[in-house]
Each structure stands twice: as C-alpha cells, then as structure tokens.
Structure 1
Amino acid sequence: MDALNPVMWSVHVGFAVLWTGSVLFVALAVLPSALRGQIDGDALAGIVGRLRWITRIGAVAFVVSGGHMAGTLYTFESLTGSGRGHLVLSMLALWFLITGLVEVASAKLRSGLDAGKLREPARDAKPFFYGAAGLSVVLLIVAGLLATPGLF
C-alpha cells in the first residue's frame, strides 16, 4: 500500500465533509432566512462567497486526492466493470453536478444582491441550492456504500 494513501483519503474525506456540510447549511439554514428577508444582504453575500471558495478549493483537493486514490486503487477495467468502480464514477458525476449547481445558484444570488435585492435572488437561486443539497445527500449515501467493507 502506498504510504500517501491515508493522507489522500483524509484530505478527500475532510473536504467532502466540509463541502457537503456547507452546501446543506446554505440550502437548509441560510437560504430560508434570505427568502423571508431575515438576513442582511452583505452577510448572505459573505456566506455564499465562502461557499464558492470552499467549492473551488475543494475541487482542487478532490482532483488531487481522488486522482491519486483512483490511480493507485483502480484500473480502468475495475472502474467501469465493478460495483465499487461504478460507485466511484457515480461520486465523480455527482461532484460535477453539485459543483455546477452551486456555481449557478451563487451567481444568481450574487447578481441579485449586487442589484440591492434579497428575496428575489434567493427565490431564483432556491432550486439550484436545493438541487445541490439533495445531490449532496445522495453523494454521502454513495460514499457510505463505498466505505462499507465487503458490500461489493
């Protein structure tokens, strides 16, 4: 076993927890307050800005750590021809989808906030943030399946 694997696994899981938790927090705790007009626009912009940075820094961490793990633990055949490989590929697809949804939602929110509005941009961003949150839960379920010994 590569001595770097535990480090890469820790980086990967650590960023996954931070990122999915941040997406869920924004969608389930922050966005409802924005929809009710109960949060300041500057505070909302700051929170969403941090989520975007976590998403972008996480992307680098996921590519490095996930690329290392995939390169050392899997072959092309095991990724495409096994249950575990299909879970890894599912995680990759979910990561792309969630990242896209977060970026679109954040852009919609920020453009409205820049125009001095709060509720309307929150309403416009809502389906994208909720979609990202739902897919984050699916991503965590897939990760749990992948981490279950002997399942595949």
Structure 2
Amino acid sequence: MALVDAVAYATHLLFAGLWSGTVLFVTVGILPLGLRGEIRPDPFAFVVSRLSTVSRASALLLFLSGGHMAANAYTVESLTGTQRGYQVLAMVVLWFLLAGLVEAGSARMRDGLAEEKVRTPARDGKPFLYAGSVVALLLLLDAGLLASGVTF
C-alpha cells in the first residue's frame, strides 16, 4: 500500500468517526439540555457552530479520501454490479443524507439561537439531528461491513 493510500484510508476513518461521534454527542448529550432549557444560548450556539464546522470539514475530507480510495479500488462495473459496490454506493447516499440533515438541523437551530432562545431551536433541530444520528450509525455499520469484507 502506497503512503498516499494509507493517508487516504486513515483520514477517511478518522473523519468518519469524528463526524459520526460529533452528531451522536450533540444529539444525545447537548440537545436534551436545550430541550429542557438547561443550557444558555451562547454555549448552545457554540456547540451548533462546531457541529456545522465538523460536519462540513468531514464531508469534504471524506469526499476526497473516499474518492481516492474508490478510484483505486473500483471500476464503474464493480461499483454498479457487485454487492460490495452497492455498499460503497449506499455509503455515498448516506453521506449526502447526513450532510443535508446536519446542515438543515444546524440552520434551524441557528435561527432561533440568534433570537436568544434555546428550547425552540432545540425542538426545531431535533428531528434533523435524530435522523442524522440514525444515518451516522448506518454509515458506521456499512463501514464496518466493508472493512470486514461482509456483504449484504
């Protein structure tokens, strides 16, 4: 394995874990505080801002590293004609879904946080973050299956 391939693989794994973990932490650890009004607007806005930053950076780095890995490991035929290829394509779809859900949820929360509210923005972002958490878990499951060689 070339150094570039190893760096792409490591970057992909690190940022997939960071992105998924950040979404799950905000959903499970921070969002409930907002829903109960137990966090001030400024710290909540800071967390939402960091969630957006991590999501955007991770999406970009996963696109670049995943694109590199796919270009070296797959052909169009193997992506569209094998179970493993379908799992890679499913990962791409889930990746787009996660990026969209986090962006939508963060935008909804930022709007209310700009008005110094907490409960309403948390409630507005909740369905997007819950759905994003499910997608993040599906991404990790798909990645685990791909890494282990198990196809569905």
Structure 1: gaps of 5 or more residues: none
Structure 1 position 5, deviation (Å): 1.1
Partner deviation per Cα, 1:10-30 (whole Å, 9 max, x = no partner): 000000000000000001110
CA RMSD of aligned residues (A): 1.0
Q: CA deviation at 1:83?
A: 1.0
Which residue does the alignment assign to 2:118? 118
1:81 match: 81
Query: What amino acid maps onto 1:97 in structure 2?
Result: L
Q: 2 CA distance for matches of 1:128 and 1:2?
A: 39
Match of 1:4 in 2: 4
Letter in 2 for 1:120: T
Alignment of 1:1-152 (within 5 A): 1-149=1-149, 151-152=150-151
Q: Aligned equivalents of 1:145 and 1:6: distance in 2?
A: 19
Question: Runs (4+) of structure 1 moved beyond 6 Å?
Answer: none
Shift, 1:63, TM fit: 1.5
What amino acid sits opposite 1:91 in the alignment? M
How much does 1:4 deviate?
1.5
Distance 1:35 1:108 in 2: 14
Cα deviation 1:94-150 (Å, max 9, x = unaligned): 01001100000000000001012110111111000000001111111111110113x
Distance across 2 between alignment mates of 1:121 and 1:94 = 25
Q: Deviations over 1:40-97 (max 9, x none)?
A: 1110110110110111111221121011000001001111111111111111000100
Aligned partner of residue 53 in structure 1, secondary structure: helix
**For residue 11 of structure 1, what is the amino acid of its counterpart?**
T
Structure 1 counterpart of 2:74, one-letter code:
Y
Q: How many residues align?
A: 151
CA distance in 2, matches of 1:141, 1:66: 16
Query: Under a length normalisation based on structure 2, what TM-score does the superposition of the two structures give?
Result: 0.96
Q: Measure, in 2, the Cα distance between the counterparts of 1:140 and 1:98.
A: 12
Partners of 1:136 and 1:57 lie apart in 2 by 15
